[in-house]
């Protein structure tokens, strides 16, 4: 069992040290085939079934570059405000590991396809931080190792290991930030916000499914500390393959507290890779971190250089969608949302559904209320994604229209939505089948009002005496009698008329 490292109180850490971050995000592209061969680029499948001599690194097999992969890399670079290289090439990154069938990774080294960009990131309180991008380069993913028999799922203590090369050769873009400095106590929050914003951007570009749970988006978090007033960066650690936004924040925070404790005790931080433990939010040592020289990079002899024409680059620039930051600003302005309402909307994962409902004729506030509140609760109760609920934006818009026209109360509308979710048909069919229309016939309402007044004569006397607010009790009784199908506003009017108040 690994001993738990000493840590320093976080407030003391940021009082004594300045954190420096470097974030490396790997994103698998959603091309149909792998980067250098024709094998299917699909998640899962029986182990070692999406393989061929090329992605297995067999002698004599030669790579052929995936044009869609290059296109995806350029579009990502453009969206990150990068310069796009007029000429670049691949290199061999040499290292031995069982899940690397060739014993080298085809990557890019000193000549990336995209470089010198930035991404503006909005923090929880609305502050915008610009994260500068060093490079975005193309490479291939490795296979996957499964270590069997140990307590941790890692190679140490395992009885044996299994290898699946289905993922080997999958197109991968690595996006590397420049050092992120000056963030102080907010450094962990900045790390989370950056990866979140990057995921949203990649999703908008439709270049990846960005499923962190399946490894198609992974973050390596580099962290080092400088004593206050120092100008030279400290020794960094790299926490590998962190696979959730919250975990990125926790990993950075923990490394800051661990490294500070080491430094204050007179020790030195080891340059190494580390593994994040989801269970307790700590990191544990991996292997000593190599330098670029250790990888013995040299140009890939089996692939020709890449020289994207400026015309092609500009053509791809024209395919870029509305960027997430611009979209947020537009939606906030058009729908007159507060910063908190905007945050809740985007956190709900229902933005597209709300937009589609508005497009079907619903008012923005109505559409947002249905999806972000009621339907989000239904999704949680069913333990499913909100987009997977069996109801469409058009159906939600129709329910909202029925409320607007006075044919349904909000309470009845919720019953209609539940009926649609239960598979009972379109909203109008559910209204008909369940008999949910608002009772708007004054004669029927007056019968219920008279009965309620007769049952509570003391309340009727209070209303006559000028305490009009007491009418609420009679309204409630009428609503109960009509099973919530009365128009409460009209009921109140009839009560006032009836008692002559």
Is 469 contained in some domain? yes
Is 245 or 478 the better-scoring residue by pLDDT? 245
pLDDT for 485? 66
Residue 427's pLDDT is 94
Q: Reduce the DSSP state of residue 89 to 3 states and report it.
A: coil
Residue 37 has pLDDT above 70, yes or no: yes
pLDDT band at 155 (very low <50, low <70, confident <90, very high): confident
Helix-, strand-, coil-residue percentages of the chain, each rounded to 5: 40, 20, 40
**Strand pairing of 104-107 and 91-94?**
antiparallel
Does one domain contain both 239 and 286? yes
Domain with 490 in it: what CATH number?
Answer: 1.10.10
Q: Is 1 inside any structural domain? A: no
Among 188-202, 328-342, 411-425, 477-491, the range with the most confident prediction by mean pLDDT is 188-202
Per-residue pLDDT, 482:
65
**Domain endpoint, select from 252, 285, 312:** 312
Stronger pLDDT, 260 or 287, i.e. the higher one: 260
Tens-digit pLDDT profile for residues 166-176: 999 999 999 99
Q: For the chain, what is the radius of gyration of the CA atoms?
A: 30
- Residue 107 domain flag: yes
CA distance readout (Å), 162 to 54, 56, 58, 126, 229: 20, 15, 19, 47, 49
Which region, left, alpha or beta, applies to residue 484 given φ > 0 means left and ψ of -120 to 50 means alpha? left
Q: For residue 462, tell me if it sits in a domain.
A: yes
Q: Do 267 and 404 belong to one domain?
A: no
Q: Same structural domain for residues 74 and 98? A: yes
317 falls within a domain: no
184-193, 465-474, 488-497: which has the highest mean pLDDT? Answer: 184-193
44: alpha, beta or left? (left if phi > 0; alpha if psi -120 to 50): left
* pLDDT one-digit tens code per residue, 363-394: 999 999 999 999 999 999 998 889 899 999 99
Q: How many residues comprise the chain?
A: 501
Pair type for strands 91-94 and 17-28: unpaired
Q: What pLDDT score does 445 carry?
A: 63
Is residue 359 over pLDDT 80?
Answer: yes
Mean pLDDT on 34-46 = 94
The answer on 301 and 396 residing in a single domain is: no
Q: Is the pLDDT assigned to residue 333 strictly greater than 60?
A: yes
Lowest mean pLDDT among 15-19, 105-109, 196-200, 428-432: 428-432
303 and 168 co-located in one domain: yes
CA atoms within 13 A on the CB side of 100: 14
Residue identified by tokens 């140009």 is: 299
User: What is the predicted pLDDT for the residue at 199?
Assistant: 95
What is the pLDDT at residue 2? 46
* Strand spans (E) along 6-113: 17-28, 83-84, 91-94, 104-107
- In the predicted structure, residue 442 carries a pLDDT above the cut 80: no
Domain range for 17 is 10-312
470 and 415 co-located in one domain: no
Same-domain check for residues 458 and 399 = no
Examine the domain organization and report whether 198 and 125 are in the same domain.
yes
Same-domain status, 429 and 446: no
Quick one: 287 exposed, middle or buried, by C-beta within 10 A (0-12, 13-18, 19+)?
exposed
Instruction: Tell me how many domains the chain contains.
Output: 3
In this predicted structure, what is the pLDDT of residue 372? 92
Compute the Cα dihedral for 456, 459, 464, 469 and give only its sign. Answer: negative
Whether 2 maps to a domain, the answer reads no
Least confident among 54-68, 333-347, 426-440, 461-475:
461-475
Residue 30 is predicted with a pLDDT of 97
Q: Are residues 231 and 165 in the same domain?
A: yes
* Residues 375, 391 contacting (CB under 8 angstroms): yes
Residue 471, pLDDT above cutoff 80: no
DSSP 297-327: -EE-TTS--B---HHHHHHHHTT----HHHH
Alpha helices in 210-320 (DSSP H): 245-264, 310-317
Q: What is the mean pLDDT of residues 49-69?
A: 95
pLDDT band for 466, please (50, 70, 90 cuts): low
Q: Give domain status of residue 4, yes or no.
A: no
C-beta of residue 379 within 8 angstroms of C-beta of residue 350: no
For residue range 227-281, what is the model confidence (pLDDT) as tens digits? Answer: 999 999 999 999 998 989 999 999 999 999 999 999 999 999 999 999 999 888 9
Q: At residue 213, does pLDDT exceed 80? A: yes
Phi, psi of 350 (to 5 degrees): -115, 15
Largest CA distance in the chain: 99
Domain end, chosen from 392, 417, 434, is at 434
Phi/psi zone of residue 467: left (φ > 0), alpha (ψ -120 to 50 degrees), beta?
Answer: beta
Q: What is the H or E stretch that residue 117 is in?
A: strand 114-122
Burial of 477 (0-12, 13-18, 19+ CB in 10 A): buried
Helix, strand or coil, per DSSP, at residue 155 = coil
Residue 481 has pLDDT above 70, yes or no: no
Q: Is the pLDDT of residue 32 over 90?
A: yes
Question: What value does the mean pLDDT take over residues 483-491?
Answer: 65
Confidence of residue 1 (pLDDT cuts 50, 70, 90): very low
Q: 55-59, 209-213, 411-415, 459-463: which range is least confident on average?
A: 459-463
The answer, yes or no, to whether residue 320 has pLDDT greater than 90, is yes
pLDDT above 80: residue 436: no
Least confident residue range of 32-46, 396-410, 437-451: 437-451
Does the pLDDT of residue 3 top 70, yes or no? no
- Residue range 66-79: mean pLDDT, rounded: 98
Residue 275 covered by a domain: yes
Are 104 and 138 contacting, i.e. CB atoms less than 8 angstroms apart?
no
Within 10 A of 159 (CB to CB), how many other CB atoms are there?
Answer: 8
Residues 421 and 284 in one domain: no
Please report the DSSP string for 335-395 in residue order: HT--HHHHHHHHHTT-HHHHHHHHHTT--HHHHHIIIIIIIHHHHHHHTS-GGGSS--HHH
Query: Domain ends where: 259, 291, 312?
Result: 312
How confident is the model over 457-466, as a mean pLDDT?
A: 68
Q: How far apart are the first and last CA of the chain?
A: 79
Are residues 345 and 237 part of one domain? no
Question: Mean pLDDT over all residues of the chain?
Answer: 89
């Amino acid at each position: 069992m690994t001993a738990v490292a000493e840590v320093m109180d976080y407030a003391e850490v940021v009082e004594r040290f300045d954190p420096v971050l470097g974030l490396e995000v790997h994103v698998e592209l959603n091309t149909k085939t792998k980067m250098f061969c024709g094998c299917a680029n699909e998640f899962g499948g029986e182990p070692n079934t999406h393989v061929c001599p090329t992605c297995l690194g067999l002698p004599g097999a030669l790579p052929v570059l995936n044009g869609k992969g290059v296109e995806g890399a350029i579009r990502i670079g453009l969206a990150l405000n990068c310069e796009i290289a007029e000429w670049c090439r691949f290199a061999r990154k040499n290292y031995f590991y069982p899940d690397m069938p060739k014993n080298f990774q085809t990557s890019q080294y000193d000549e990336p396809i995209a470089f010198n960009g930035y991404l503006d990131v909005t923090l929880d309180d609305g502050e915008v931080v610009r994260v500068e991008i060093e490079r975005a380069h193309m490479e291939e993913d490795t296979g996957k190792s499964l270590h069997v028999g140990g307590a941790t799922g890692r190679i140490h203590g395992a009885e044996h290991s299994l290898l699946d090369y289905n993922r080997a050769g999958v197109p991968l873009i690595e996006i590397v930030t420049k050092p992120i400095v000056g963030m102080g106590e907010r450094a962990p929050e900045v790390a989370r916000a950056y990866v979140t914003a990057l995921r949203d951007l990649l999703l908008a570009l439709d270049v990846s499914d960005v499923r962190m749970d399946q490894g198609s988006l992974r973050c390596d978090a580099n962290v080092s500390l400088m004593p206050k007033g120092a100008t030279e960066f400290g020794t960094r650690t790299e926490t590998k393959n962190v696979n959730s936004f919250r975990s990125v924040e926790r990993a950075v925070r923990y490394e800051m507290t661990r490294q500070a404790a080491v430094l204050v005790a007179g020790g030195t931080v080891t340059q190494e890779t580390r593994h994040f433990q989801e269970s307790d939010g700590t990191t544990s040592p991996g292997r000593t971190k190599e330098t670029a020289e250790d990888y013995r990079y040299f140009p890939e002899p089996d692939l020709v250089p890449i020289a994207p024409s400026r015309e092609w680059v500009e053509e791809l620039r024209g395919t870029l969608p509305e960027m997430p930051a611009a979209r947020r600003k537009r939606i906030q302005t058009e729908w007159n949302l507060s910063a908190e309402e905007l945050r809740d909307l985007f956190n709900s994962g229902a933005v597209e559904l709300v937009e589609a409902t508005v497009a079907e004729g619903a008012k923005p506030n109505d559409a947002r209320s249905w999806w972000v509140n009621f339907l989000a609760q239904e999704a949680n109760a069913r333990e499913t994604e909100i987009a997977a609920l069996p109801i469409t934006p058009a159906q939600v818009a129709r329910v909202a229209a029925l409320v607007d026209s006075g044919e349904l109360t909000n309470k009845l509308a919720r019953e209609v939505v539940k009926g649609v979710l239960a598979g009972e048909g379109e909203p109008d069919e559910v209204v008909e089948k369940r008999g949910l229309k608002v009772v708007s016939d004054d004669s029927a309402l007056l019968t219920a009002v008279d009965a309620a007044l007769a049952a509570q004569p003391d309340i009727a006397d209070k209303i006559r005496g000028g305490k009009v607010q007491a009418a609420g009790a009679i309204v409630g009784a009428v609503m109960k009698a009509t099973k919530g199908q009365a128009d409460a506003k009209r009921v109140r009017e009839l009560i006032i008329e009836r008692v002559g108040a």
